Structure 1
Amino acid sequence: MFVLDSTALLATWGIAWSLRFEGTGWLESAWRGPAAYHLLLSVPMWLGCLAVFKLYRRAWADASIDEVKAMLLAVLTGALANISLALFLLPLLGLSPTRLPLSVVSSSTMWSMAALMLPRLLARVWHLHRRQRQAGRGLIPVLILGAGPAGRLTARELAEHPELGMRPVGYLDNDPSLHNLMIGGTRVLGPMTELATQLTDHGVRQVIVTCANANGVMMRSIVQVCEEAGVPLRIMPPVSDILSGRVALSQLRPVQIQDLLRRAPVQTDLLAVRRTLGGQRVLVTGAGGSIGSELCRQIARTEPAELLLLGHGENSIFEIQQELQKSFPLVPMRCLIVDIRDEARIDDIFARYRPNTVFHAAAHKHVPLMEGNLPEAITNNVKGTRTIVDAAVRHQVDRFVLISSDKAVNPSSIMGATKRIAELLVQRAAIATGRQFVSVRFGNVLGSRGSVVPTFLQQIRAGGPLTITHPDMQRYFMTIPEAVQLVLQAAVQGTGSEVFVLDMGEPVRILDLAKDLIRLSGFREGEDIEIRFSGLRPGEKLFEELSRDDEQLQPTGHASVLRARLGAPPTGLTYQVDLLVQKALDRAEDGALRQQIAELVPEYIALGTTHPVAAPAPLTLVA
């Protein structure tokens, strides 16, 4: 390249002077001396600029935007230096009686810039062309959904790596300003609504989704069109994972149920969470559960002084301990096997380890099971919560976060009613102490133990049928990481006696969820896998709600997190809770326990009462 550049600069110098004088007559004129000095100084100057920007230490066959930037800076610097030399430096040094002709200066500069850039660009183009020819003509045509940064990265990688076996034929993007434009050599064919047409017109054999903001409705439509056309659909990993090296672009994954339900992902103020929990002693109850274990993972990233893992099941606690010790070897942690109803043991733990923050995730959560086991639901969810809250108050815990549920709103189940009582206990403690004792309320969590998605997948593996209680049943859904991010955000923003609610978008019909899972598993509804309706189970509602009518939802510093200001807890709460717990311990009749719960939670819809049949009203914010 050095020899080629030297030759090109010599040639452009001669061409510039010859064009100016329309021949070689200038060699016999008074301009011969200044022209010679121009040559002797300009060529080393150009080569020096290229060397300064390290253009001779770059692999131009694999050039990227970084090489292009360096090349542009080098030639622009050289151009300015060449102009300065011809117009000012040569006369100043006495090497020319006057400035060189402007036509010579301009043409020599432009020809030199072109001569230096063109071979490098050609090297890149030729290398790419040669690799594509070597790969043969067996590349399958691929359509990329999304012409943003992720889509452009995908198209470029596919074009530069034919060994992946794919050739991008175009983009589809809903931004009208991009339609019919060429981006990196690949055309934006039109909007997403033209997917079916473009699949046929271009003989597409695979579709890659790269748009991270695709909502559930859009993903459902894309999946349906691809299935009808018989075209495989893949999801590109997040660009952050690719750039960090956690995954490669070749690791395209199949569509998952989360993609069909997803909203814009909840983002947490990680700096605020780290500032709140870093260097603190943090206790997580139910640490072996779905939510509890994810809490431990995310809290460990904040570098707490010590992480206390409290749970009743030794196997689940052992599993999360092994995982955390491998992923976060520098975080001190301690495993505590204990029943949260054991008041003496709980008090001893708080007295010995003095946690600064408590996340209370331990609870019985299965609605139908708790309907048949009222004493267990009451002693665990109510007495256990009271035990943890009272210990936190006695030992001056700074922050307490209760993991609640949308089923605590106008509850129709024992599980929901006991969660509502747990919220009242936390609110009472916050009012009494003035500390940051708050509750976090959210809907169903995808992939948690015993939840609907793992149950449906198990039924699909068994060949069906999928059992659904009612065709109109709807639920709010979120992923486990989203749920935990909400919990952590509550710990940061809570001031006391509040309930935090996640704006979870629109609820999802369980029937639609079942149909999606059947399709994603490669089966056909009604032909391969049957769906059966079994009727509402005890304690179930058709629709869940996230707040009561008397709870005023207010915005917080987080776009997706809302704050509900609650009214004063009922008078005689302590006495009523003591009475309920004692009746549960005495194994009173279910009717008596339900009546006692109804006195504590007047909005509780007793067993056998007609369930609501109208969808809940959308969330309303109060400024």
Structure 2
Amino acid sequence: MVNVLKIKELRYVPRWVVFFIDISIVSFSVLITYLFLQNLHVKINFVEYFNEKIFTIISVNILFMFLFKTYAGIIRYSTFFDFFKILWASGSALIVLLGLNFISEMILGQPVYLYPALCLFFFISIFLMFFFRMTTRQLFKMYMGSKGASSKIRIAVVGVEDESVSLANAMIHNPGQRYQLAGFFSARSDSKKAMLLGYKVYNKKELLENDYLRNRFDAVLIREMMSRPQMEAWTALALDKGLKVLKAPDANKIKEEGIVGSIRPLLIEDLLERSPIKIENQEVKGRHINKNILVTGGAGSIGSEIVRQVAQLGASLIVVVDQAESPLHELKLELLERFPDQSFKFILADISNHYRLEKLFEDYRFSIVYHAAAYKHVPLIEDNPHEAIFVNIVGTRNLALLSRQYHVNRFVMVSTDKAVNPTNVMGASKRAAELFVQSLQNTEDNTTKFITTRFGNVLGSNGSVIPHFKKQIEKGGPVTITHPDIIRYFMTIPEACELVLQAGTMGKGGEIYVFDMGKPVKILDLAKRMIKLSGYTPDVDIKIDFIGLRPGEKLYEELLTDNSTTIPTHHEKIMISRDPLMEFEDIELLCKQIMRSAIKKDSLQVVKILKIIVPEFISNNSEFEILDKTPEHEVYQ
């Protein structure tokens, strides 16, 4: 029978069916009323017109049911709003019938209907119509809840606040989705034996002390607006008890997107996310509005986010440069759709090509240059040091010199914490680029403000550790870590780009801005947490293998050099690093020497010169360690 009716596929009961049922209920209510009066031996007026009287009652009720459209609601979603519609319709019908009685008394000397009979009929009819809707709704909910109940995820909502109750209600009122409310968790000590929406509220202490609760739930649901310490505490507790952790946005977003699309597994990024920097939007906007902006590396993780943020600031033109064809094309399609009123130019170019870049500076006369283009993968650059020279040093040199030549107001370079006391070619090449950019600040006739920003690792960026771990977990492991003690700083992509924009605004020229990165994260702990969040047990379901440090890799990243001093700014999370400087003539000479060696692909000579430019560069786990054991570096010119 169920298969024939296809209840699950039925969107709603047709309105004419509801209307017919309501008429039947009204007719039945009249019958019940008169049977009740008959059993009490109450004499009714105008017995000879009994059929006409019943027809009048039903007709008047039908009229107001039609006017108030009591049949128009979807039965399985009935609420007290539907009850009030029934109340208004029946109440209006009662008033008309009472008016008919009043006229009858004035003309005929007695009322057509007994007043108690009308009141009794009124209460019986509204009760039965509302009872029909509530019963239908509950039966539908029970049926939908029973369908595939064994495959549904049993959820305990964390918290008993209004926001948590809204989430629970959303699950209750959407029985067709894959989540099933099973209870609540609360940190409050007075919640023992409490019930909410018909479900038990479990105290946090109960979850800590009783392992049997893991058999009652599959997952806990936390709210987006929950504080980070609370989120971390509940996540750790849930994972220790073998429960999955899900996250839901606030109730307003659920109304827009639907609960099924809104609830998602908690990601490691949610736990690592930090409070964003407060940006002076008016000051930042003032630097960009009606200006021509250049973003290099614009198709990369950082560069593309810089472009998205600048596109909201009223720039006259944004020129996006990258040598990666497919990512640049995809970014173009995205930006043209998202920002139809913003002017863009998408340029496929290599920043080591000075002549290609000069044409851009000549044509567009940029006010700000955001330089995010770089080679960043440590092991690859260690194997190909000459390529780091072409992009990270020569490319930066080209852009910086052109910015000075064409009087660009601000040149903002994106650097890395790997440039601090570097142990690899990539970090050393970025430090050399920093030194070159800084050296231009005080050169003759310079009007450009040269600014550098240093970042730690960026969550979700191309090639970063988190996406790598995710892929390994999805394949069933193993998760590979270079060393059990390795640690890294993390920040989000939007946060990193906000720092770039803010630094470009507040910089006076020559500064290296560093960010208060908070506490570093142990990569082993990160991997274990990610495995648990995926529903697995580390070293049982997913193995963790230690593969040894890669060439040039170090255990601990730093943001400041040993010789630097830190100067605070008006932002508590942004500081200025005062690092040792080089004169322009000195680093220009060395850059020309290293360029010649890179053209010859003489890797050993390239690294020799790089170690002269960056004296603190000590190779680690690399073939170039031999150079650190030589008393003096012999440089061929």
In the TM superposition, residue 441 of structure 1 has moved relative to its aligned partner by 0.8
Larger Rg: 2
Indicate the residue corresponding to 1:19 in structure 2: none
1:161-310 matches, within 5 Å, as: 166-167=180-181, 169-173=183-187, 195-197=207-209, 203-210=216-223, 212=225, 214-215=227-228, 219=231, 222-237=234-249, 241-242=253-254, 245=256, 251-310=262-321
Q: In the alignment, which of 441, 444, 458 is matched to residue 430 of structure 1?
A: 441
Aligned match for 2:374, one of 363, 370, 382: 363
* Counterpart amino acid of residue 247 in structure 2: I
**Aligned 1:379-398 pairs, distance under 5 A:** 379-398=390-409
Find out whether 1:449 has 2:462 as its counterpart: yes
Could you say which residue in structure 1 is the equivalent of 2:384?
373
Please name the residue that 1:575 is paired with.
589
Task: Specify the SS of the correspondent of 1:548.
Answer: coil
1:195 offset after TM fit, Å? Answer: 4.5
Q: Flag the 1:391–1:232 CA change in 2: closer, same or farther, 3 A.
A: same
Alignment deviations for residues 324-360 of structure 1 (CA, whole Å, 9 cap, x no partner) = 1111111111111111011111111101111111111
Deviation at 1:595, TM superposition (A): 2.3
Farther off after superposition, 382-391 or 581-590:
581-590
Structure-2 change in CA distance of 1:181 and 1:358 (3 Å): farther
Deviating more after overlay: 351-360 vs 597-606: 597-606
Which AA in structure 2 matches 1:431?
N
Partner of 1:418: 429
Report the AA paired with residue 499 of structure 2. Answer: L
- Confirm or deny that 1:344 pairs with 2:355: yes
For residues 407 and 514 of structure 1, what CA distance do their matches in structure 2 show? Answer: 22
Q: CA deviation at 1:257?
A: 1.8
Deviation of the 1:297 alpha carbon: 1.7
* Secondary structure, aligned partner of 1:416: helix
Aligned to 1:135: 141
CA contact (8 A) 2:566 2:576 kept: yes
Name the CA shift for 1:588/1:512 in 2 (closer, same or farther; >3 Å). Answer: same
Q: CA deviation at 1:201?
A: 6.3
- Are 1:548 and 2:561 an aligned pair? yes
Whole-angstrom CA distance in 2 between matches of 1:185 and 1:253? 23
- Structure 1 runs not aligned, ≥5 long: 1-58, 64-123, 612-623
Equivalent pairs, count: 490
C-alpha change, 1:259 and 1:187, in structure 2 (3 Å) is same
**SS of alignment partner, residue 207 of structure 1:** strand
Give the alignment's Cα RMSD to 1 decimal: 3.7
Give the 3 Å change call, closer, same or farther, for CA 199–399 of structure 1 in structure 2.
farther
Instruction: Calculate the TM-score normalised by the size of structure 1.
Output: 0.69
**Structure 2 counterpart of 1:450, which letter?**
G
TM-score, normalising length: structure 2 = 0.68
Whole-angstrom CA distance in 1 between matches of 2:499 and 2:208: 38
Q: How does 1:66-145 map to 2 (within 5 A)?
A: 135-136=141-142, 142-145=155-158
Evaluate the alpha carbon distance shift between residue 461 and residue 352 of structure 1 in structure 2; reply closer, same or farther with a 3 A threshold.
Answer: same
* Aligned counterpart for 2:324 among listed residues 301, 313, 317: 313
- 2:571 equivalent to 1:558: yes
**Which piece of structure 1 moves more, 560-569 or 545-554?**
560-569
Q: 1:586 to 1:167 in 2, by over 3 A?
A: closer
For 1:41, the equivalent position in structure 2 comes to none
SS of the equivalent of 1:263 reads coil
Q: Which runs of 5+ in 2 are unaligned?
A: 1-77, 83-129, 626-637
| Partner SS for 1:430 | coil
1:401 partner letter? V
Return the offset for 1:186. 9.8
Change beyond 3 A, Cα 1:279–1:130: farther
Query: Are residues 1:586 and 2:600 paired?
Result: yes
In the alignment, the residues of structure 1 paired with residue 303 and residue 136 of structure 2 have an alpha-carbon distance, to the nearest angstrom, of: 54
Percent identity over paired residues = 35
Cα distance in 2 for residues equivalent to 1:516 and 1:344: 49
1:253: Cα distance to partner? Answer: 0.6
Q: Which whole-Å CA distance do the structure 2 matches of 1:359 and 1:148 have between them? A: 45
Quote the residue 2:80 is aligned against: 61
| Cα offsets for 1:370-414 (capped at 9, x unmatched) | 111111111210011000111111111112111100001111111
Of 474-483 and 187-196, more deviation after overlay is shown by: 187-196
Q: Could you give the per-residue CA deviations for residues 104-157 of structure 1, whole angstroms, max 9, x where no partner exists?
A: xxxxxxxxxxxxxxxxxxxx9x99999668634879874333566743543454
Q: Which has the larger displacement, 396-405 or 570-579?
A: 570-579
